[in-house]
Structure 1
Amino acid sequence: MPEHRVGTQEEFDAARAELLAQEKELTRRGDELARKRRELPWVPVEKDYGFDTEDGPKSLADLFDGRLQLLVYHFMFGPPYDAGCPVCSSIADTLSPNAVHLKARDVTLICSSRAPLDKLLGYRRRMGWSLDWVSSGGSDFHRDLGFVYTAEELKPFLEGGYPATVRQMAQACGTDVASYVTEGPGLSAYALADGTVYRTYVTTARGLEPAMAYYGLLDRAPLGRHEEGEQMHWLRRHDEYDDKG
Structure 2
Amino acid sequence: MDKLDQPAATPQVADRSTFDAALAGQVAREKEVTRHDDRVSAARRRLPMVEVVDYTFTGPDGPVRLTDLFDGRYLLMVQNVMFDPSWVAGCPSCTWAVDNLPANMDRLADEGIAFAMISQAPIDKLEAWREQRGWDHTWVSSHDTSYHHDWGWTQTDDEGNEGQQPGYSYYLLKDGTPHLTYMTTARGTEAILPVAHIMDRTVYGRQQDWEDSPEGWPQYPTYG
Q: TM-score, normalised by structure 1?
A: 0.79
Aligned to 1:11, which of 2, 9, 18? Answer: 18
Of Structure 1 and Structure 2, the greater helix share is in: 1
The aligned residue for residue 164 of structure 1 is none
Q: Which has the higher strand share?
A: 2
Specify the alignment match of 2:3 in structure 1. Answer: none
* Counterpart Cα distance in 2 of 1:102 and 1:12: 39
Q: Provide the alpha-carbon RMSD of the alignment.
A: 2.0
Deviates further, 206-215 or 193-202:
206-215
Q: 1:96 to 1:10 in 2, by over 3 A?
A: closer
Measured after TM superposition, the shift of residue 143 of structure 1 is 1.3
d(CA) in 2 for partners of 1:11, 1:185: 42
Match of 2:153 in 1: 147
Cα deviations by residue, 1:21-47 (Å, 9 ceiling, x for unpaired) = 2212211221221121121001111x3
Native 8 Å contact 1:74 1:186 kept in 2: yes
Question: For 2:220 and 2:158, how far apart are their aligned partners in 1?
Answer: 22
Q: Which residue of 1 aligns with 2:168?
A: 187
Q: How does 1:85-164 map to 2 (within 5 A)?
A: 85-95=91-101, 97-150=103-156, 153=157, 155=159
Of stretches 214-223 and 198-207 in structure 1, the one that deviates more from structure 2 is 214-223
CA drift of 1:231 comes to 7.1
- Contact 2:207 2:220 survives alignment (8 Å): no
What secondary structure is seen at the aligned counterpart in 1 of 2:17? helix
Q: Distance in 2 between matches of 1:154 and 1:87?
A: 25
**Larger deviation: 141-150 or 96-105?**
96-105
Residue deviations 1:206-225, cap 9 Å, x none?
A: 10002332221111111112
Cross-structure match for 2:34: 27
- Structure 1 gap segments, 5+ residues each: 157-177, 236-245
Match of 2:51 in 1: 44
> Match for 1:64 among 59, 63, 70?
70
Task: Please state whether the residue corresponding to 2:13 is helix, strand or coil.
Answer: coil
Quote the sequence identity (%).
40
Change (3 A) 1:35 1:189: same
Q: Is the 8 A contact 1:96 1:129 kept in 2?
A: no
